[in-house]
Structure 1
Amino acid sequence: MFDIAVGMNDSVVREFHEALNKSPDMAVAVAAIRALTGVISNSSAQTMMGLEKELKDAAAALQRCNPTAISLKAGCELFLRYTTRTSALELEDFSAAKRRLIERGKQFADTSIRARATIAELGARFIRPGCVLLTHGMSRVVLALLQRAVASNINFSVYVTEGRPDGTGQAMARELDKLGVPVTMVLDSGVAYALERVDLVLLGAEGVVENGGVINKLGTYQIALCAKSLNKPFYVAAESYKFARLYPLNQQDLPLEHKPVDVGPLLPRSVAVDNPSRDYTPPAYINLLVTDLGVLTPAAVSDELIQLYV
């Protein structure tokens, strides 16, 4: 039995990585949802209890691929809740229940895939002709939203932060340039200087937490602070599968994740370098969240989380 479980977990991890390699634009959580749906289809369990255990083991195996990935954890947890929370499954024979679970899994995957398009449609309404935006890092959902605005013949321009140390801002600038959008790159340390010329800030998120705050690429919090000080609207675009059951009180409550950074060869070895990959932005600094569940205030996120997980 142990060997079968190990083999199935290896299979779900392999399917997860294959989906990401085949489609680089696919969200990590969506790849996980598809892989978990495959677990139901391929399961040899004879009871609901056995199938639920296989799903939980597979979800745990996926999360071990990247233990600090908030969207991966949230996607797996939401999938488990969505597929197994219906009491109707207890009234059917196991074969019928399994078919129903597969249907629900595919439905959840389809809904998650459509999330980005839904957000793009809702969020493009905030882009007014002639407006100037600032964004930070490379967000696929923000890019989809801006693509929708371009397709609607709305003229706008974008300030993009450099996005050190992984250069994601440069990737975003290249994508916007391909769309014909006027782009200006600003140093990460130059955000406050640039914000005087900006009409609104639009960022993505790695995770949306229970109080309506967000976890995102390092530097998001300081951009939010500057935007608040200058009375600039601060909007976050995020898919509902990134809604996570987390309640950080400060930066130290985040799952620790560091990325390598090149600070040059002249820095003495005795000097420590602290380079966390992300930070937490409290809800007080966020005006609205554009999600596939609708345009939400930060205060509304807890209600939506209750609906998703109950």
Structure 2
Amino acid sequence: MTAIYSNSTPILPRSDVPNADPDASQHSFDVYEVYQQALADEEISPPLAAILSLTELVTRSDAGTMFELVQALNDGAESLKKRVPNPIGLTAGCELFIGFVTLFPHGSANFSELKREIVHQGKSYTSQVINFRSKIAELTLGFIKDDSVILTHSYSRVVIRALLHAHTRKRISVYVTEARPRGLGLKTYEILTAAGIPCTVVLDSAVAYVMNKVDFVLVGSEAVVESGGLINAVGSSQMAIIAKAENKPFYALAESYKFHRLFPLSQYDLPTHHSGILSFVHPTNRPATEQIKPSQHDVNVQNRPLASLAQTPISGQPSTASPQRTMTSEQMGKNPDVDYTTPDLISLVFSDVGVLTPGGVSQYLVGMFAGL
């Protein structure tokens, strides 16, 4: 966490503490609103947005002691976690900042001066760490050969930075999964093709089909946990399992502020899991108006002779009599947004602190939060 001591320009638009309204208080301050404003910047990820919002909380706080300040920060962090459906990334940022504040050296003349210094360091850190992605991209470049075929998943800022950087130096082609239900893989596709990188969107269900054509898998991360495992967009785990079966390297890219003191043993230990995920719907309990009825196309298919069905092609565009089926919002809500990839499936983790094995991530996390 030594990088937090810097002289970079703060990126929050608000003025620094000396010019702030002396009557401002955390009682009229909405930490979640600041968090959302920070996320409006495409370059800001949830952990950084969390650090920025807690930094602003320090600015607005009327705490007179370190105990009161840490308590206010913990309360702010809890407020964020309760109001965000997926709190994994922001929790990592909150832990990092609160840990830093707790161990911040007390060399200031008074507590107000100490708070000003904490705010300065917090803003400076968040402006510096944007460059971590460029450092990771440079580290990743050494593992990418000319004419590499890469498979990636969904959308990741650091992965896109790495791929765009590799494109300036080497010839690469990229497969990207659609990443339903949000379809963020299409965003990745648009960015890469606009940059001139040959790219093809792959169905999530076709990962095994395409794996034999790729040289390695490159994914981003929501968080890297103490076990050395990875929390990322749902589908990452099955991609890693298939890569392992096909003997293809599975590389994860993660900025060090995404390292998270969490030790899940399974998918169901993630903070995002709840009883509604993958729960069953009993048709007898559904209102009559919600009963699913077969379409006329389904009825026609059921009534057709078997010989006729055997001649029907299994590929091609659906007919106008067969509307495209999509999941309802209720069905989407019963599915997870992220999953957990166990460390045994991960080849290497590329981070701003170096290229680490999953075991190396565990060691770094212990040292990081021990000395911060």
The alpha-carbon deviation at position 57 of structure 1 amounts to: 1.8
Q: 1:273 to 1:35 in 2, by over 3 A?
A: closer
Task: State the match for 1:18 in structure 2.
Answer: 37
- The match for 2:28 is 7
Give the alignment's TM-score, normalised by structure 2.
0.74
Q: Which moved more, 1:118-127 or 1:222-231?
A: 118-127
- Max Rg structure: 2
1:67 Cα deviation after fit = 4.9
Q: In 2, Cα distance between the equivalents of 1:132 and 1:190?
A: 16
The offset of 1:266, in angstroms, is 10
Which of residues 192, 195, 201 in structure 2 aligns to 1:185?
201
Q: SS of 1:113's equivalent?
A: helix
Distance in 2 (CA, whole Å) between partners of 1:291 and 1:24 is: 20
1:302 maps onto 2:320 in alignment:
no
1:264 is the counterpart of 2:281 = no
The two structures have a TM-score, normalised by structure 1, of 0.88
Q: Partner residue of 2:161?
A: 144
CA–CA separation in structure 1 for the residues paired with 2:180 and 2:361: 30
Structure 2 residues not aligned, in runs of 5+: 1-23, 279-323
Q: CA deviation at 1:69?
A: 2.1
Structure 1 portions without partners, runs of 5+: none
Give yes or no for contact 1:207–1:244 (8 Å, CA) kept in 2: yes
Distance 2:113 2:236 in 1: 47
Letter in 2 for 1:306: V
Residue 146 of structure 1: how far off its partner (Å):
0.8
Distance (Å, rounded) in 1 between the aligned partners of 2:245 and 2:109: 57
Is the Cα contact below 8 Å between 2:267 and 2:339 reproduced in 1? yes
Local SS of the residue matching 1:165: coil
How far the C-alpha of 1:218 sits from its partner, in A, is 1.3
Pick closer, same or farther for the CA change 1:273–1:36 going to 2, 3 Å: closer
| Counterpart contact for 1:84–1:101, Cα < 8 Å | no
CA contact (8 A) 2:250 2:346 kept: yes
| Contact map agreement 2:227 2:362 (CA 8 A) in 1 | yes
Alignment-mate amino acid for residue 303 of structure 1? Q
| Mapped partners of 1:140, 1:272: distance in 2 | 24
CA contact (8 A) 2:217 2:243 kept: yes
Kindly report which structure 2 residues correspond to 1:111-260, keeping only aligned pairs within 5 A, or say none.
111-151=128-168, 153-255=169-271, 256=273
Runs of 4 or more above 4 Å deviation:
271-274
Q: State whether residues 83 and 104 of structure 1, in contact with CA within 8 Å, keep that contact through their aligned partners in structure 2.
A: no
1:179 and 1:56 map into 2 onto residues whose CA distance is 42
Equivalent residues of 2:244, 2:345 under 8 A apart: yes
Task: Note closer, same or farther for the CA distance 1:66–1:193 as it changes in structure 2 (3 Å cut).
Answer: same
Query: What do the CA deviations read for 1:120-142 (whole angstroms, capped 9, x no partner)?
Result: 22112222111100001111110
Q: CA deviation at 1:187?
A: 1.3
**Which structure has the highest helix share of the two?**
1
2:318 alignment counterpart? none
Partner amino acid for 1:264?
R
Change (3 A) 1:67 1:89: farther
The alpha carbon displacement at 1:214 in A equals 0.5
What's 1:81 paired with?
99
1:283 is matched by which residue type in structure 2? P
Q: 2:50 aligns with which of 23, 27, 32?
A: 32
Q: For the residues of structure 2 that align with 1:40 and 1:276, how far apart are their CA atoms? A: 34
Which residue matches 1:287? Answer: 347
Residue in 1 that maps onto 2:281: none
Contact 2:133 2:255 in 1 (8 A): yes
